[in-house]
Each structure stands twice: as structure tokens, then as C-alpha cells.
Amino acid sequence: MSPETLVAAVFTLAIFSFLYRENPIYRAAEHILVGISVGYYLVILVEETILSKVVNPLFYDGRMLSLIPAILGIMMFSRLSRKSGWLARIPLAVLIGAGAGVSIPAMLQARILKQMSASMLPLNSIGAVVMLVGVISSLAYFYFSREKSGLFGGVARVGTYFLMVFFGATFGYTVMSRVTLLIGRMEFLMSDFLGLVK
Amino acid sequence: MDLSRLDRRIIFLLMGLAIAIPMLFNVTLPVNVEKDTLAVYDKIEMIEESEYVMVSFDFEASSFPEMRPLAVAILNHLFERNIKVIGLALFSEGTALGFTTISDIAEKHGKKYGIDYIYLGFRPQYISAILGMGESIARVFPEDYLKKQWQEYPLFSGLENYDNAGLVISVSDGSLPIHWAEYANARYGVEIGVACAAVMVTAFKPYFNSGQLIGPVAGVKGAAEYEKLLGRQGAAQRRLFTQSSAHILIIVLVLGANLAAYMRRKR
Amino acid sequence: MKTRLPIAVCFVFGLFTLFQYFTADPTLESIYKEILDWMQIIFVFTLLVGVVSLAKIHSEKLIKKRTDWPYSILTILGIVVMAFLGFAYGTDWGTPFLWIFMNIQVPMQSTMFALLAFYVASAAYRGFRFRNREASVLLITALIVMMGRIPLGHMISDIIPGTAEWIIDHPSVAAKRGILIGIGLGSITTALRVILGIERSYLGGKGA
């Protein structure tokens, strides 16, 4: 057995031990995982972005404009101090403001107009009717500015059934995903580690 | 014994057995290829050899067992067709996973880095990264994952933005394909194919239905369908028997618990 | 200053990126590209703040010997080892950094999520009951989808996968579309409120 397999199996079993009950081995593995993940994150962030987007342009290409986002970025660290924490609001405002600006046309075009036009099909099939009724009734369900009574209440109630269908379908797919992950880990244990499966 | 209230550890044990036992038998179930999987396959078939396809590894390590067969199937198809592949990641953990997967599959096809494929690496803040690549890929990724000026590779020097990409494929376990649809497809018109975790299908479906996304090749079943289309026996097809067994266990448990609860109420 | 400056910055950047969408002016386009770059750089620093903050929490726990402090040694060790290996030997094929990632982090993280298969089974067994009409619709849909997405569904009858597909393509899409359009409208309103300085919760604390 290769050292890779042994190491991976030990840590896999440590996590699986949680199924019996929480225990020190699981907790130790969990803390190691947090540490390694954060270390990985740190390296990827620095190697992949800080070096190529800040250090190289500033120190090798002499692109002084990169100094502005670098300073704004460093200002984020003021969040760690109580006194100068407000400084972090400025880079945050850049991120949130620019993000809000680009999101408005994107939402309008891709999320609202396209989705609405795709819902308004010629009503020549059951599917098209179901689609239109479903979109309108589930939108009615999420309209909280009016009391859900009378015809409006009835439409909103139809919406709940559509939402239940959506949640049910999502649950079915969630089962599929989670089971696949478990199969992946069990395959590793039974094949690579124990050699029971060829 | 009240069958509607079994100890959770018994359920766990049953679940473990429902997966472990079928695994001991080498059973391959027939797979029916469905329209969603076919949509991605057909799209890749239509791409010409001279075109680039961008593959974005938008997933975390937590879902690697589900995502790897999907990524492998898509990459096998691209490399078989001699399409030039540009790998990248918009999730940090996808960076190393994408790099190992693309390098591994490329090697199996005898493909060379810088000639047949490149790997750009990771960019955070996916909205600005997606929008930025629509303007200039080189500006978002001045260097590749290996810290090389990737534009110096002659075959990739013409790659400027999405205009040069025949397709972007997001291999994803989260909501990234929606952002690809909303920021890359809506603004720059590039087509987006999706290979995703099964859990995301219902969330993405409206975008496939409206033509904003292509696919999806979803979960283990989608990967198995793709393997069948490629004529390759892969990890996903082998897993379907085990997957079926676990689904049936859950269905039996739910129906059994309901029946037991009904009987108890009747008594 | 502490409130007005960020609101002004937010307004300028928000209005600019919104306005730029409707123009093809090359100068504005180059400023837009610059801003997209800035967003990535600033965002990396926000993530780094998170990394430093987590390291700080565990260091304090260790120094002050708070409950379960020995576990914090493992976390700090994890951070230090990965950072050292990554910066010293790189992240390419065959590096110790990638070895630890592939053989410790990936197996553990995917096992964490694999645990959910057990809990999903247990939760379905305990929670899914034909209690009322809504719950029954949810349960029946889930069962059809679960059955329709495995080859066995096809083997029993093509009606099962066919029904599953129809459900996913029509009523499920309709409901999700309702949610999406609702969220879309809400997001546009929130984005406008943010740009105009009415929504200030991102400022946090006093003055927000």
C-alpha cells in the first residue's frame, strides 16, 4: 500500500468516526483540516493573485496604478483593529458599489427579461400552461405586501404546490449528489485501501 | 418495535451496507442518454479543431468524487477532438484539482502543455473575473498557473477574449454557472456549457430552458451517459448500480416509516 | 467622514459601472477594465483578512489556554506547514504542497460531505410523512425524481424517468423561475439602494 493511500485512509476513517459519536480523533482531524485548508487558501491567494496582480505589476512592470487597489486592499486589514476599523469601509464601498453597478443590467437582462420571455410560450401544450401558471402563482406566493386572501390568496396557494414540487425535486437530486460522494469515499476505502474491490 | 422510529445509527448502518454490498459485485447497468447530456456533447462535436474551449473548474474539494468523473468525461471529449483547452478556476480549491485533473487527462491523450492546453489558474471575485475575461483574458490572467507568460505559447497567442472561445464549460458544484450565464452569456454572448453536481440541477434548470446555458451533464448519471457517448467505460457507469441501491434504500425507508406510522395511528 | 466618504465612493463606483454598460467609449472602457482589476485585488485582501483573523483566534486560544486549546495547535500547525511548503516548494506537480492537498485535504473534505448521505437518509426517514397535501406533493415528487434518475427507473418503465423529466422541466422550473424573478427584482432594488446610499448595512456598526 502506498503512503498516499494509507494517509488518506486514516484521515477518511477519522472523519467517518463521527457517525458513531463526536470523539477526539474526529475533532483532531477536523482541526487539521481547517489548518490545512486555510494554509492552502493563503498560498493560492498569494501565489495566484497577489504576485501576478500586485507584486509583479508594481515592482517589475512599474505600473504605479496598481498601487491604488493595493492600498485599498491593505486598508481592509484595519478591520482587525477596533480604532481604525472604519477605514475598511472604503475598499468595501468600492467592491459593493462596483458590484451593485454591474449587477443591475445583468439581473435585468439575464434574470428577469430572459426568464420572463421564456415563461411566455404559446399556450398550446400542458407544459406551457403549467409553466405560466407556475411562474405567476409562485411569484404571488412571494408577494408579501398584500394579504393573501380571495382570488390572490388562491393563486398564492397554488404557488405553494409548485414550490413543493421544486423542493421535492431538489431533495431527490440532493440525495443523488450526497450518495455519489459517499460512494466515492467508500470506493476508495474498499478498493485502494482494503483491496476488496477490483 | 416501532419501525417508524429506528435509531439513527441503524439507518447509518443500512446506508453503509446499501453501498458496500453492491460494490462487491461488478454490475454495469444500462444507461439511457438523455437530451441534457446530449446537448453538451453535440455542442462540443460542432466545435472546430482550431477553436478554443475554456473549462472552468468551479468546484470545491468537498464534491471532488462527484465532479471528477464529469470533468474527466468532458476533457476526454475535448482532447479526443483535438480542441485546444484553456483551464481555469474560479473557486480556490478547484485550482489544484483542476490542474491535476487536466494534466492527468492530457497526459493520457499524449497532449502537451502550451501546445494543446494551458492552465491559467485561479481568480477570486468571480463576477469581476468573468466580466474581465470578456474584455481581455490576458489582463485577468497575466501569467498561467505555472507562472509563465502564457501568450508566448504560439498556439494560444491569438486568445484575446470570449470572442475567440467556441464554448465555455463550467464544471461546477455551486452557483457559478448562473453567474456565467448572467455576466458572460448575457453581456458577451459566449455560449456556456454546464457539467454540474446533481444537487444544482433544479436551481439551474430555468437557464437551460431559456437557452442561456447548455446542458447540463449532471451528477453520476450525466457522467455515465457521457462516458457511454464517448464509448469509454468510466467510473460513473460502474457507480450506477451502487447509486441505485442507495436510492432504493431511502425510498424503502421513507415508505416503510410512513406505513409504520400509519399502522401505529390506526392502533 | 467615516460614513460619508464610503457612501460617496460607493455611489461613484456604482454609478460608473452601471453607466459604462450603456456606452462604448474607449476611455470609459479602459477605466471599467481597471475597476474590474481592482475588485479582484481588493477581494483577495478581504479573504486574507479572514485567514489572518482565523489564525489570530486560534493563537489567542492557545496562548490563553482556553477550552480545547490543544486542538488549536493542530490548526496552526496546518496553516504553517502548508504555507511553508507552498511558498518554499511551489504548487506544481510533485510538490509536497500538492501532495498534502490531494491526500489529506481532499479526502477529508469529501468525506465530510459524504457524511451528509447518512444524515439525508436519516432525515428523510424521520421527517418525510404524508401529513398534508403540501407535504405529500413534496414527498411524491422526491420519490419520483429519486427513482427516475437511476437506471432501475428506466428498467421498470419509461414512464418513471419520463415523469421525472417532465416535473423537472415544467412545474419545478416554473417555481424556480418565480423565485429567480423575485430575487432578481429584489436584487435590483437593493443594488439601487446601495448605490444611492439608502442601504448602508455593509458599513456595519455605528453610522450604518
C204 or B232: which leads in pLDDT: B232
The model's pLDDT over A179-190, given as tens digits with 9 standing for 90+, comes to 999 999 999 999
Cell numbers at residue A86, please?
Answer: 472604519
3-class SS of residue B136: coil
For all residues of chain C together, what is the average pLDDT? 92
> What pLDDT shows up at residue C92?
85
Residue B1 is predicted with a pLDDT of 63
For the segment C78-98, what is each residue's pLDDT rounded down to a tens digit? 999 999 999 999 888 889 999
Could you give the C-alpha distances from A168 to A129, B4, B79, B239, C151, in angstroms and in order? 21, 21, 38, 24, 20
* Mean pLDDT, residues C109-114: 95
* Nearest-neighbour CA in chain B from A28: distance (Å): 18
- The more confident residue out of A61 and B77 is B77
* Confidence category of residue B163, pLDDT binned at 50, 70, 90: very high
* Tens-place pLDDT, residues B129-160: 999 999 999 999 999 998 888 988 988 888 99
State which amino acid sits at residue A181.
L
Q: Nearest chain C Cα to A71, which residue?
A: C42
The pLDDT assigned to B233 comes to 83
The upper half-sphere exposure of residue C140, i.e. CA atoms within 13 Å in the direction of its Cβ, equals: 13
Residue C64 C-alpha, separation from nearest chain B C-alpha, in angstroms: 32
Residues ≥6 apart with Cβ < 8 Å to C177: A115, A118, A119, A131, A134, A135, A138, B206
The rounded mean pLDDT for chain B is 93
Listed in sequence order, the residues at least 6 apart from A159 whose beta carbon sits closer than 8 Å to its beta carbon are: A134, A137, A138, A139, A140, A141, A142, C175, C178
How far is C108 from A40, CA to CA, in rounded Å? 14
3-state secondary structure of B230: helix
Q: Strand, helix or coil at C198?
A: coil
Residues of C in contact with B122 (CB under 8 A): none
The torsion region of residue C113 among left (phi > 0), alpha (psi -120 to 50) and beta comes to alpha
- The answer to whether residue C208 scores a pLDDT higher than 50 is no
Task: Measure the CA–CA gap between B89 and B174, rounded to whole angstroms.
Answer: 13
Cβ atoms B160, B138 nearer than 8 A:
yes
- Name the residue with cell 448502518: B13
Q: How many CA atoms lie within 13 A of B86 on its CB side?
A: 29
SS3 B146: coil
Global pTM value: 0.93
How do residues B11-68 score in pLDDT, each as one tens digit? 999 999 999 999 998 888 889 899 999 999 999 999 988 789 999 999 999 999 999 9
State whether B182 and A174 contact (CB < 8 Å): no
- CA pair distance B12, A120, nearest whole angstrom: 46
The answer to whether C82 contacts A171, with C-beta atoms less than 8 Å apart, is: no
Cross-chain CB nearest to A175 (options B92, B141, B250): B250
Residue A180 and residue B65: Cβ atoms within 8 Å? yes
**Are C118 and B12 an interchain contact pair (Cβ–Cβ within 8 Å)?**
yes
Q: Chain B interface, mutation test: which of C13, C21, C35, C36, most B Cβ atoms within 10 Å? A: C36
Number of Cβ within 10 Å of residue C66's Cβ equals 11
Which SS3 state, helix, strand or coil, does residue B147 take? coil
Residue B110 backbone zone (phi > 0: left; psi -120 to 50: alpha; other: beta): left
CB contact under 8 A, A43 and C87: yes
Angle at A79 between CA A73 and CA A81, to 5 degrees: 125
- The torsion defined by the Cα of C25, C28, C31 and C33, in degrees rounded to 10, comes to -50
Q: In angstroms, rounded to a whole number, what is the distance separating the alpha carbons of residues A83 and C205?
A: 12
A182, C118: Cβ pair inside 8 Å? Answer: yes
Identify the band that residue A146 occupies on the pLDDT scale cut at 50, 70 and 90: confident
Stretch C138-161: mean pLDDT:
92
Strand order across the B52-58 sheet: B117-122, B84-89, B52-58, B165-172, B192-196, B214-218
Q: How confident is the model at residue C134 (pLDDT cuts 50, 70, 90)?
A: very high
Lowest mean pLDDT across A79-88, C165-174, C179-188: A79-88
Report CA torsion sign: B46, B50, B51, B52.
Answer: positive
A49 closest CB neighbour out of C21, C44, C76: C44
Name which of B250, B247, B195 is nearest B67 in CA terms: B195
- pLDDT of residue C206 exceeding 60, the answer is no
Does C75 have pLDDT greater than 90?
Answer: yes
pLDDT at position B49, please?
83
Q: Which of A69, A101, B28 is nearest to C195 (CA)?
A: A101
